[in-house]
């Protein structure tokens, strides 16, 4: 078939691009390798958790005050849950609750780490987040904040994580959760009316065709277009599963290599009885990390009054657990809870439902989301640079600086790429060479 623009991937970046192109009056088709839309925004209703909705990947609308997806939800009248307001927090030091003085020191450790990063980056191109944390070695909470900001939030060990990229993507504001799940929201509000071809993986992109056109080969045939917007993950791009003819420029390949995929692994455990570990509903639990590189697996316990707890671990620990299998991941989660609550954990969760996410083994993603290696904070901008006068563009969470690694960043990046395609399309259409098939 032939269209104006072909989009690879029906995640938030692809849907954002397709929406913008449709609104601009251009034809486009979205080729999606899997059997669903939404990408890493995916809501399920697992029987193991009693059939309640559960987000396998993305959960929050971060920085809601500046998040374009929040405006879409509000315009549609969707209910948005303010998790920051309903959440209760419990922090432990060893097996006891932290004192008020310790909590105050913990709260102050976050801006201390940020200030230390800014001071180090003032006269250096880049450092790792671990370098920043080491400069605060005497701070008893520095390793805890380092564990949060590296493996937990940005899904990468801090020694492999660019501190400049971390600071470039610092988010403020509130976090909202769409009732029914963020994946269900994306499917309901962002996909209808678009030409999406599921189960149609792109195999090769020929972006040097006559007249500047692009041809995308699939198992079902070839789609030709004036432009192509590629929104697959950097994990897929690095693996070479999607071929480019001619090969991508060295600068683009370097950007992909500088933005590898991290991994977040979720483990959910359903209670088999009424015990709630003396915790209130929708309670987040973490603890003081004793030393750098110690794993931190924070838990959200009884979210929105439900009967399960959900742990989250990232970085090398997540990759190791993913390779070891679900039983190892569940055992790890239980061991973390056992440190705080003792043997009652085994009685409470023994025989109950369990769920472990598998973004590591999904061939269409090969990880959770991207991070920048030290010295590669500029790779996001580089990957988003148009190629061939805008005939080939990349978009996705990896291409956005500010909302990197979020559904909002993916959506904005897709819309930005579409805006370039729209602008360039009008130039191509008015060109005498285009009218005669030579450009």
Q: pLDDT tens across 159-184, in order?
A: 999 999 999 999 999 999 999 999 99
Tell me: the pLDDT tens digits for 18-47?
A: 999 999 999 999 999 999 999 999 999 999
Give the C-alpha separation, 216 to 222, whole Å: 5
340, 279 in Cβ contact below 8 A?
no
pLDDT at 148: 98
Edge-to-edge strand list for the sheet holding 264-270 = 96-97, 88-93, 283-287, 299-301, 308-314, 264-270, 354-356
Query: Which fold does the domain 5-38+190-259+371-435 belong to in CATH?
Result: FAD/NAD(P)-binding domain (3.50.50)
Give the C-alpha separation, 314 to 320, whole Å: 10
Give the C-alpha separation, 35 to 381, whole Å: 30
Edge-to-edge strand list for the sheet holding 221-225 = 221-225, 214-218, 202-206, 243-245
pLDDT at 327: 98
A 10 A CB-CB count for 363 gives 12
pLDDT at 97: 97
Pick the CATH number of 45-54+82-173+264-356 from 1.20.1560.10, 3.40.30.10, 3.90.660.10, 3.40.640.10: 3.90.660.10
365, 235 in Cβ contact below 8 A?
yes
Please state, for a pLDDT cut of 90, what percent of the chain lies above it. 93
> How far, in Å, are 155, 178, 284, 380, 382 from residue 377 at the CA level?
16, 31, 31, 7, 10
Cβ partners under 8 Å of residue 9, min gap 6: 30, 31, 32, 33, 39, 230, 231, 232, 396
**Per-position pLDDT tens, the chain of length 439:** 999 999 999 999 999 999 999 999 999 999 999 999 999 999 999 999 999 999 999 999 999 999 999 999 999 999 999 988 889 999 999 999 999 999 999 999 999 999 999 999 999 999 999 999 999 999 999 999 999 999 999 999 999 999 999 999 999 999 999 999 999 999 999 999 999 999 999 999 999 998 889 999 999 999 999 999 999 999 999 999 999 999 999 999 999 999 999 999 999 999 999 999 999 999 999 999 998 889 999 999 999 999 999 999 999 999 999 999 999 999 999 999 999 999 999 999 999 999 999 999 999 999 999 999 999 999 999 999 999 999 999 999 999 999 999 999 999 999 999 999 999 988 887 665 444 343 4
pLDDT at 268: 98
Q: For tokens 């399309």, name the residue.
A: 425
Q: What are the residue boundaries of the structural domains of the chain, listed by start?
A: 5-38+190-259+371-435, 45-54+82-173+264-356
pLDDT at 431: 60
45-54+82-173+264-356 shares the fold of 5-38+190-259+371-435: no
pTM for the model: 0.96
């Amino acid at each position: 078939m032939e269209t104006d623009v072909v989009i690879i991937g029906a995640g938030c970046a692809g849907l954002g691009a397709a929406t913008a192109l449709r609104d601009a009056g251009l034809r486009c088709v979205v080729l999606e390798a899997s059997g669903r839309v939404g990408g890493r925004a995916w809501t399920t209703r697992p029987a193991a958790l009693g059939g309640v909705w559960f987000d396998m990947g993305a959960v929050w609308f971060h920085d809601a005050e500046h998040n374009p997806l929040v405006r879409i939800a509000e315009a549609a009248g969707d209910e948005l849950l303010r998790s920051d307001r309903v959440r209760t927090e419990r922090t432990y030091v060893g097996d006891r609750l932290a004192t008020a003085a310790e909590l105050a020191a913990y709260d102050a450790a976050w801006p201390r780490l940020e200030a230390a990063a800014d001071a180090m980056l003032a006269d250096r191109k880049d450092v790792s987040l671990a370098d920043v944390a080491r400069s605060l070695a005497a701070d008893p909470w520095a390793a805890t904040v380092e564990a949060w900001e590296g493996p937990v939030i940005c899904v990468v060990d801090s020694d492999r994580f660019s501190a400049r990229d971390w600071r470039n993507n610092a988010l403020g504001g509130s976090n909202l959760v769409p009732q029914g799940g963020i994946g269900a929201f994306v499917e309901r509000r962002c996909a209808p009316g678009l030409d999406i071809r599921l189960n149609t993986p792109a195999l090769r992109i020929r972006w040097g065709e006559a007249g500047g056109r692009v041809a995308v080969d699939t198992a079902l045939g070839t789609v030709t277009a004036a432009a192509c917007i590629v929104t697959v993950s950097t994990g897929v791009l690095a693996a070479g599963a999607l071929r480019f003819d001619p090969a991508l420029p060295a600068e683009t390949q370097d950007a992909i290599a500088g933005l590898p995929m991290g991994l977040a692994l979720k483990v959910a455990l359903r209670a088999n009885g009424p015990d709630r570990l003396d915790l209130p509903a929708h309670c987040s639990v973490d603890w003081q990390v004793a030393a750098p590189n110690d794993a931190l697996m924070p838990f959200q316990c009884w979210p929105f009054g439900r009967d399960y707890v959900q742990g989250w671990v990232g970085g090398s620990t997540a990759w190791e657990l993913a390779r070891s299998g679900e039983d190892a991941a569940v055992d790890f989660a239980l061991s973390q809870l056992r440190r705080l609550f003792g043997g009652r954990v085994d009685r409470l969760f023994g025989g109950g439902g369990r769920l472990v996410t598998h973004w590591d083994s999904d061939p269409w993603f090969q990880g959770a989301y991207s991070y920048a290696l030290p010295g590669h904070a500029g790779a996001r901008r580089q990957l988003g640079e148009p190629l061939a006068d805008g005939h080939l563009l990349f978009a996705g969470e990896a291409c956005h600086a500010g909302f990197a690694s979020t559904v909002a960043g993916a959506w904005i990046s897709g819309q930005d790429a579409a805006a370039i395609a729209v602008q360039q399309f009008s130039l191509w259409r008015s060109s005498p060479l285009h009218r005669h098939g030579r450009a």
